[in-house]
Amino acid sequence: MKTIIVCCGSSMITSSVAVTKIQERLKQEGIDVKIIQCKFAEVMGNIEQYNPVLVVPTGTLKEEQTKGVPIVKGTSFVTGVNEEATLDKIVSYLK
């Protein structure tokens, strides 16, 4: 099973919103994925532990923090702008 990391700055609120929207879309697509939700400070450790195929930050995350794992920016889940395009990108990494 593929794994993705969804992360945010500190309070976990924005990443929770993103996780819900991602789960809904993946269910529609019939894609079974493990989603790890964490804070930015926990990303590197979670990459080592879970070996994700994708990181979805809801804010600014530096590329060096993902150890080469691709990033799909999840700011659209916060702003509400272009959510479908973001979900399309996420799905493309998981098919």
Residuewise pLDDT in 10s, the chain (95 residues): 999 999 998 878 899 999 999 999 999 999 999 999 999 999 999 999 999 999 999 999 988 899 999 999 999 999 999 999 999 999 999 99
Q: Structurally, how many domains does the chain consist of?
A: 1
Q: Note the helical H segments in the chain.
A: 13-29, 43-50, 76-79, 83-94
Sheet holding 54-57, edge to edge: 33-39, 2-8, 54-57
Q: What is the pLDDT of residue 72?
A: 98
**Cα 56 from Cα 77, distance rounded (Å):** 10
Q: What is the pLDDT of residue 64?
A: 87
Domain that holds residue 14: 2-94
CATH number of the domain residue 27 falls in = 3.40.50.2300
Mutual orientation of helices 83-94 and 13-29 as an angle, nearest 10°? 60
